[in-house]
């Protein structure tokens, strides 16, 4: 049980235009808040995109008041001028949508914006200055990612036009940030340290809440195959092509091994070098490999996770040295060992709250060796992961998220 002080009966207004369907993790993430916060005595109003599917509105009681998702358009191939033009347009639409809601609704204690990108930050900077500067409402702006790069041991903005705008808006909001009116949230300690270096304003770490499966996973019989899996669309930043190569070499080196692989590969994808990553043909036909070439149906991911013993997460440092991955947290709260890349937040969290075998960034041989280690030492790794899952469930929970927020607001009060 957390000893952090709590505030009773908070009114939350959660604002997320990226929640339009069930792709990605937005639905599971926000469903968790909408279910758990009322159990803790709070009330929740959720605003979503006007394009949100009826399932979202009915399941979460969401109100379709916001413009179309800005996040969903970021990788649509539009020319640069159009992408930049969308920033003030989306900010303007967001400003008026939120302002209209606030005119008629009870004033919330907490406004929580879970996915802030530049399109939203511009709108919220104006809202704070013109509409929310006075009154009791605290605004939690949450940044899953920020335009930061490392320069040796120092973190700096990446130099893009949008990063310079982010820095200007942070400076404009600095009085409200330092006064605790605006709280800047991030999901990893490395991101907190880097963001404070780059923007010279305080950030607060909040864990990414994840609910465990309804029942604890049963122990694996000694003679059963160990299912190692990587779920979600294959991408360069997830090291998917490295994993496919390591799997192929492992199967060749240990034809009688105990491991069974499941790899979700929806389509080939571009590499940073300019080439294309293609799934090795031998993996599709191998008796110990299952290739999932489609999106999961509703509820299928949980079923898959319950039938998995190890998650293979050789994510690249270039993308995950600061960012969090929900998948590794799902492994930790369910007591699953993981293979993760040294230098990523996945490795840090897995070593602290679970059982991890580490591999080198982009190293096929290193990843193959890590897979062999897991196959050999699986019983001990599973025991360690199971022993630590209670601590993981407490840390990565809505209750702990809320207690950290209460502590942050109390400190400022």
Write out pLDDT tens, residues 107-166. 899 999 999 999 999 999 999 999 888 888 999 999 988 999 887 778 888 888 889 999
What's the rounded Cα separation, in Å, for the pair 262 and 205? 33
What's the rounded Cα separation, in Å, for the pair 314 and 376? 19
Q: Is residue 27 within 8 Å of residue 124, measured between CB atoms? A: no
What's the rounded Cα separation, in Å, for the pair 257 and 368? 13
- The pLDDT of residue 8 is 63
Write out pLDDT tens, residues 18-58. 998 877 788 899 999 999 999 999 999 999 999 999 999 99
What's the rounded Cα separation, in Å, for the pair 25 and 45? 19
Write the CB contacts of 222 (distance below 8 Å, at least 6 apart in sequence). Answer: 379
Q: Where in the chain is the domain with CATH 3.40.50.2000?
A: 11-209+397-412, 226-395
The architecture of the domain spanning 226-395 is 3-Layer(aba) Sandwich (3.40)
User: Which homologous superfamily does the CATH classification assign to the domain defined by 11-209+397-412?
Assistant: Glycogen Phosphorylase B; (3.40.50.2000)
- The pLDDT of residue 393 is 97
The two three-digit tokens of residue 122, written as one number: 């511009």
Average pLDDT over residues 365-375: 97
């Amino acid at each position: 049980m957390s000893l952090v002080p709590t505030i009773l009966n908070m009114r939350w207004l959660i604002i997320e235009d990226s929640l339009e369907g069930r792709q990605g993790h937005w639905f599971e993430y926000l469903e968790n808040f909408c279910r758990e916060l009322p159990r803790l005595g709070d009330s929740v109003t959720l605003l979503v995109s006007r394009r949100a599917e009826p399932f979202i509105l009915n399941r979460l009681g969401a109100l379709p008041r916001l413009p179309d998702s800005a996040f969903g358009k970021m990788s649509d191939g539009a020319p640069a001028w159009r992408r930049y033009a969308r920033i003030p347009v989306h900010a303007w639409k967001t400003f008026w949508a939120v302002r209209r809601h606030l005119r008629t609704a009870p004033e919330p204690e907490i406004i929580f914006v879970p996915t802030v990108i530049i399109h939203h930050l511009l709108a919220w900077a104006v809202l704070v200055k013109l509409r929310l500067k006075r009154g009791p409402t605290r605004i939690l702006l949450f940044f899953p990612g920020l335009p930061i790069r490392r320069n040796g041991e120092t973190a700096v903005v990446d130099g893009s036009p949008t990063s310079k705008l982010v820095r200007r808006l942070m400076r404009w909001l600095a009085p409200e940030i330092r006064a605790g009116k605006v709280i800047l949230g991030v999901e990893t300690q490395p991101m907190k340290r880097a963001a404070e270096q780059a923007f010279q304003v305080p950030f607060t770490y909040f864990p990414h809440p994840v609910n465990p499966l309804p029942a604890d996973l049963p122990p694996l019989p000694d003679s059963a195959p160990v299912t190692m899996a990587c779920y979600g669309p294959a991408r360069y930043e997830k090291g998917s092509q490295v994993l496919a190569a390591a799997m192929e070499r492992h199967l060749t080196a240990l034809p009688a091994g105990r491991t069974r692989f499941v790899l979700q590969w929806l389509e080939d994808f571009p590499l940073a070098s300019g080439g294309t990553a293609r799934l090795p043909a031998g993996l599709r036909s191998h008796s110990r490999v299952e290739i999932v070439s489609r999106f999961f149906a509703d509820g299928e991911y949980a079923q898959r996770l319950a039938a998995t013993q190890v998650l293979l997460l050789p994510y690249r440092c270039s993308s995950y040295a600061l960012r969090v991955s929900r998948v590794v947290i799902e492994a930790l709260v369910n007591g699953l060992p993981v293979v993760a890349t040294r230098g990523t937040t996945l490795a840090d969290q897995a070593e602290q709250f679970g059982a991890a075998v580490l591999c080198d960034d982009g190293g096929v041989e290193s990843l193959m060796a890590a897979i062999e280690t897991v196959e050999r030492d699986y019983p001990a790794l599973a025991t360690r992961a199971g022993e630590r899952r209670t601590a993981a469930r407490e840390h990565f929970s809505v209750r702990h998220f809320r207690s950290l927020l209460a502590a942050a607001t109390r400190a400022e009060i």
